[in-house]
Amino acid sequence: MTQTKRTFLILLIFLATFSMYPATTVTAIGYCDPDGEQSSGAIYRICMPAPGSWNGSLIIYAHGYVPFYEPIQIPDGDLTLPDGTYIPEMLNQLGFAFAVTSYSTNGLAVRAAVDDIRELAEIYASKYGEPNQVYLIGGSEGGLITTLAVEKYPDLFEGGLAGCGPIGDFKLQINFIQDFRVVFNYFFPGVIPGSAVDIPEEVMLGWEDTYKDAVASAIASNKSKTDQLFRVTLAATDWGSQESKLETTMWLIGYNIFATNDAEEKLGGQPFDNRWRLYLGSWNDFRLNRKVKRFQADSAAINELNAYYQTSGKLSSELVTMHTTGDPLIPYWHTALYLGKVTSKGSLAHYIHIPIFRYGHCNFKAYEMLVGLAVLYWKVNGQILPGIEDVITNQQELSTYKQMLEDVGIDQP
């Protein structure tokens, strides 16, 4: 047998043997193991930096809201920032191990997610050994999950980075979304069947083909009513533009339609209560408050919210939060409410907030997320996060990154 044939035969045997095992996703800066399954039925994924570049720390990612009707799987879209940056690759490039769980349920997943994340940390340790440090990062619903987990498990997490989460008061977040729906129904009656707390199946099934367009037409057809809707609800817009009013409406009405029934099932009752709410900002507030639909919350739902969905502000580990000031879905006032909790618990030394002056929900750029991570790393270790200049290659973004760190008192070399 010639040397060429022998080499070719060895190659065929190697490829045949390799195909017997699950594929591992490999990139120039790291690799991801095949997805695994947790005891709860959640799916998990672990991505490691390139060999020899692991810094000894693990970052667990708490993803955002996934509609209840979606299959249980890793939400890859949630792992990509608005500017196209793929979060696992970015963190692997910095030397961090990365892990994410699908959670064992979709829809309102907060309670289950905290347990799934804790178990994921144990799974990682069993496969790769105990990391030196474990950080938790999450946005939107994942921002609330991050905050709750950091508060609850300070011995597990050195700290967390929570973006645009409803961390100030989850009950008020529910009220905010439902208030928008009841006020929308007042100004545009009959556009959407059902009520703020009772979503017919036909509305969910027909949202894309029928009701989404109906809502958009209503918003566009009467500027006066639309303007009053936003004055009453104080929902965020991009400097008052009509386009952003439509975008905000779609965020809030969409969540009302697809999250309400699932939330009521998970909470064991209806959590929205506006019996005594005074709505202000319309041309005729007396008529508005007399005609707007009123609802009473179920005590079981409120008890469940208070037990599992409300942050305490009591911190023993480090927490950094970020929030766009013009968030259309989760208002910026959550930041002030959480700051009040942290202050009242004497935990202010463990907390830093970074405002992002922009319209949009979780509308962060990659370098801004890295600012939050660098602040968290500095609070935990008292050191500058290494490797940033290998990740942020745009010099203008790098300059802004350094300026933002200086704004919170961290001087860069």
pLDDT along the chain (413 residues), means of 10: 36 30 46 95 97 95 96 93 89 97 98 97 96 97 98 97 98 98 98 97 96 97 97 97 97 98 98 98 98 98 98 98 98 98 98 98 95 98 94 95 94 76
- Amino acid letter, 104: S
What digits encode the pLDDT tens for the residues 81-105? 888 889 999 999 999 999 999 999 9
Mean of all residue pLDDT scores within the chain: 92
* Among candidate residues 55, 114, 50, 47, the one with its CA nearest the CA of residue 79: 47
| 236-252 core/surface letters (b: 16 or more CB in 10 A; e: else) | bbbeeeeebbbbbbebb
Phi, psi at 322, each rounded to 5° = -135, 145
* In the chain, ranges of CATH 3.40.50.1820 domains: 25-168+312-407
Q: What is the pLDDT of residue 285?
A: 98
Give the Cα separation of 145 and 290 in Å (integer). 38
What DSSP state is assigned to residue 21? S
What digits encode the pLDDT tens for the residues 64-86? 999 999 999 999 999 988 888 89
Model confidence, pTM: 0.92
Distance of CA 312 to the CA centre of its chain: 19
CATH of domain 25-168+312-407: 3.40.50.1820
What digits encode the pLDDT tens for the residues 353-367? 999 999 999 999 999
What are 284's two structure tokens?
A: 């005729």
Give the Cα separation of 339 and 82 in Å (integer). 27
Q: What is the pLDDT of residue 344?
A: 98
SS3 356: strand
Q: What is the pLDDT of residue 82?
A: 80
Q: What is the pLDDT of residue 21?
A: 28
